[in-house]
Amino acid sequence: MGSGKSTLAQALAAKLGTSAFDLDALIERAAGTTVESIFRERGEAGFRELERETLHAELERHTQGVFALGGGTVTDQALRRELLAGGTLVTLSADVSELARRVGEGKGRPLLAGHDVEARLEALLAQRADAYAECHARIQTGGRALDAIADEVIAVARDQALVVPLGTRSYRVEIGAGVRARLPLRAGKRSRVVLVSDELVAPLFGDALAEAMRAAGTPVETVVLGPGEAHKNIASVERIWEAALSAEIDRGGLLIGVGGGVVGDLTGFAAATLLRGVAVGHVPTTLLAMVDSAIGGKTGFDTRHGKNLVGAFHQPSFVLCDVETLATLPDAERRAGLGEVVKAAFIDGEAAVQRLERDAAALRAGDAEATVRAIRMAAALKARVVTEDEREAGLRAVLNLGHTLGHAIEAAQGYTGLRHGEAVALGMVAAFGLSARLGIGTAEQQARLVRLLDALGLPTNVGAYMRPEVLSFIASDKKRMADSVTFVLPAEPGRIVLRPLAIAELPALLQHQ
């Protein structure tokens, strides 16, 4: 209320050559009466229902336009998330005293009537903090020219960032060429920043990013870890802790991970545990990290007992996926990332699989546009699943498609010779085979997956890897319950089934893969 959204919508529509719609005005027109009297007659719940129906009807009619929503419209979580996924959602903010001045005594605004306006606005903002934080951008309007605000909104819309909506812990995943240059801006004003990368990534990107932060006036310490999974251990975490504590980091500090999934998981874990939690931002530089590990807040490291056995959930504050950084990535690492992209497409649905089938040759050749499209699809899927099941209580398990067998194949190979994404590709082929055998999926779906993986240069000859040790590693899987292991089995693109299978049955089921 009083944020100036109707005026801004008009200005935006004029600049964009499209139409502006004011939701309250549309509702009044449809109902033939004022918002105030709808509130009086139907109560707030009745009004919200009408609001939802009217907005849906308008969105059906217009594929584009600028909508000024009522301040309460986005308090409906399902509607808000629909708007976030289908368009650009911007929250306008201003100081409460400024808002109070703009709304006057609150005449015609049923939620303010009869209250001390400033106190009531304050209470509403606190009540709606989670809803208003789930947006593509929060834009300050106080003391700014309309034109400048409109330009900022247009820039946000053109950027097409993804939002991981988690209330006040929401964050954006920005994907594109050159987005790493935004790091100083996204880091904001910080007392202390520690930038972590590894020996391969530091000279390529980490050092230059640290310099850019310093040039912007932020004191930055750097930590350069040994590269690869072999360094994903407590010793690396200690090096980050040590650098941060020596720099006297406080709760307002920030850790930044610039690198692949190993750097990201270690930096995230150090951030989760330092002072019981400081902010972390990710600049993923491998395809796998962009589509998977940088999003979702899982952090951790390996011990001699296995991979990722110690960890914590800690969501980042921002993620910058700069596809330019992929230019230096070895081909085998890129291919491994594509394994996770294929997984995401089969979880997402038919349209995503078809798009990937069309883009396969371009992706294999490293085409930038096809790569951005693939990252966007996979990152959006991950963001959606994480939002619905942040702590892996249920749905998030679908992301393990191909992983139970993939991990076992990796372990049976002694973690050499196969990259994780390649093992996941093999694991998916086996999972599709299991599905077909159990009547959940079909042999045609498995053949389709194999064609796609082939086109992307990923391994598919799962039979060659099905050594007896694979079964013993499955039996020791951490997702095991008593005598069975839960498998993530694909029925068809977009339909995944979780099915516990008795360990005793597995040898027969996994034969002839």
Ligand X SMILES: NC(=O)c1ccc[n+]([C@@H]2O[C@H](COP(=O)([O-])OP(=O)(O)OC[C@H]3O[C@@H](n4cnc5c(N)ncnc54)[C@H](O)[C@@H]3O)[C@@H](O)[C@H]2O)c1
- State both tokens at 289: 């990290």
H helices then E strands: how many in the chain? 22, 16
List the beta strands (DSSP E) in 16-145: 20-22, 66-68, 90-93, 137-140
CA distances (Å), origin 456, targets 56, 354, 376, 470: 40, 14, 18, 25
Across the strands, what pairs with 502?
484
396 is catalytic: yes
Q: How far is the CB of 384 from ligand X (least distance, A)?
A: 15
28 is catalytic: no
298 is catalytic: yes
Nearer to ligand X, 9 or 375 (CB): 375
* Annotated active-site residue in 192, 420, 422, 437: 420
DSSP string computed for 25-44: HHHHHHHTS-HHHHHHHHHH
In the set 292, 359, 410, 422, which binds ligand X (CB under 6 A)?
292
Euclidean distance between the first and the last CA atom of the chain, given in angstroms as a whole number: 62
Asked whether position 262 contacts ligand X by CB under 6 A, the answer is yes
Mark the segment that binds ligand X (CB under 6 A) among 31-39, 236-244, 253-261, 477-485.
253-261
Q: How far is the CB of 400 from ligand X (least distance, A)?
A: 10
In the set 99, 289, 320, 424, which binds ligand X (CB under 6 A)?
289
Across the strands, what pairs with 164?
171
Backbone dihedral angles phi then psi of residue 499, each to the nearest 5 degrees: -140, 120
- State both tokens at 411: 């372990």
Chain positions 97 to 136 lying near ligand X, rule: CB under 6 A, are: none
Chain positions 299 to 318 lying near ligand X, rule: CB under 6 A, are: 307-308
Q: How far is the CB of 234 from ligand X (least distance, A)?
A: 14
Nearer to ligand X, 24 or 198 (CB): 198
Checking 149-154 for CB contacts under 8 A at 24+ apart, the result is: 149/8, 149/11, 149/92, 150/8, 150/11, 150/12, 150/15, 151/15, 153/8, 153/12, 153/88, 153/90, 154/12, 154/15, 154/16
314 is catalytic: no
* Annotated active-site residue in 5, 192, 407, 437: 407
Binding residues for ligand X, total number by CB under 6 A: 29
Q: Distance between CA atoms of 62 and 423, rounded to whole angstroms?
A: 45
* Annotated active-site residue in 61, 276, 305, 512: 276
- State both tokens at 109: 């605004």
Q: Are strands 171-176 and 193-198 parallel, antiparallel or unpaired?
A: unpaired
- State both tokens at 424: 């996941």
- State both tokens at 392: 């892996």
Asked whether position 328 contacts ligand X by CB under 6 A, the answer is yes
* Annotated active-site residue in 192, 298, 335, 373: 298
Mark the segment that binds ligand X (CB under 6 A) among 74-82, 115-123, 228-236, 438-446.
228-236
Nearer to ligand X, 160 or 328 (CB): 328
Asked whether position 227 contacts ligand X by CB under 6 A, the answer is yes
CA–chain centroid gap for 49, Å, is 29
* Annotated active-site residue in 134, 174, 333, 340: 340
- State both tokens at 350: 């038919």
Asked whether position 232 contacts ligand X by CB under 6 A, the answer is yes
In the set 28, 82, 159, 229, which binds ligand X (CB under 6 A)?
229
Mark the segment that binds ligand X (CB under 6 A) among 43-51, 133-141, 285-293, 422-430.
285-293
In the set 261, 402, 406, 490, which binds ligand X (CB under 6 A)?
261
Which residues, 6+ apart, have CB-to-CB distance to 452 below 8 Å?
A: 342, 353, 356, 357, 360
Asked whether position 204 contacts ligand X by CB under 6 A, the answer is yes
276 is catalytic: yes
Which residues, 6+ apart, have CB-to-CB distance to 304 below 8 Å?
A: none
118 is catalytic: no
Mark the segment that binds ligand X (CB under 6 A) among 13-21, 84-92, 280-288, 481-489.
280-288
233 is catalytic: no
Mark the segment that binds ligand X (CB under 6 A) among 116-124, 149-157, 281-289, 468-476.
281-289
Q: Are strands 220-225 and 254-259 parallel, antiparallel or unpaired?
A: unpaired
Helices (H), 62-108: 77-86, 96-103
Asked whether position 293 contacts ligand X by CB under 6 A, the answer is yes
CA distances (Å), origin 448, targets 336, 342, 400, 424, 437: 19, 11, 20, 16, 16
Q: How far is the CB of 380 from ligand X (least distance, A)?
A: 16
Residue environment code for 406-434, b if the CB has 16+ CB neighbours within 10 A, otherwise e: bbbbbbbbeeeebbbbbbbbbbbbbbbbb
Asked whether position 288 contacts ligand X by CB under 6 A, the answer is yes
Nearer to ligand X, 81 or 420 (CB): 420
Nearer to ligand X, 41 or 211 (CB): 211
382 is catalytic: yes
Asked whether position 298 contacts ligand X by CB under 6 A, the answer is yes
User: Residues 270, 396, 282, 285: is their CA dihedral positive or negative?
Assistant: positive
Active site residues: 276, 298, 340, 382, 392, 396, 400, 403, 407, 420
Contacting positions for ligand X (CB under 6 A)? 198, 200-201, 204, 227-229, 232, 259-263, 265, 285-286, 288-289, 292-293, 296, 298, 307-308, 325, 328-329, 333, 420
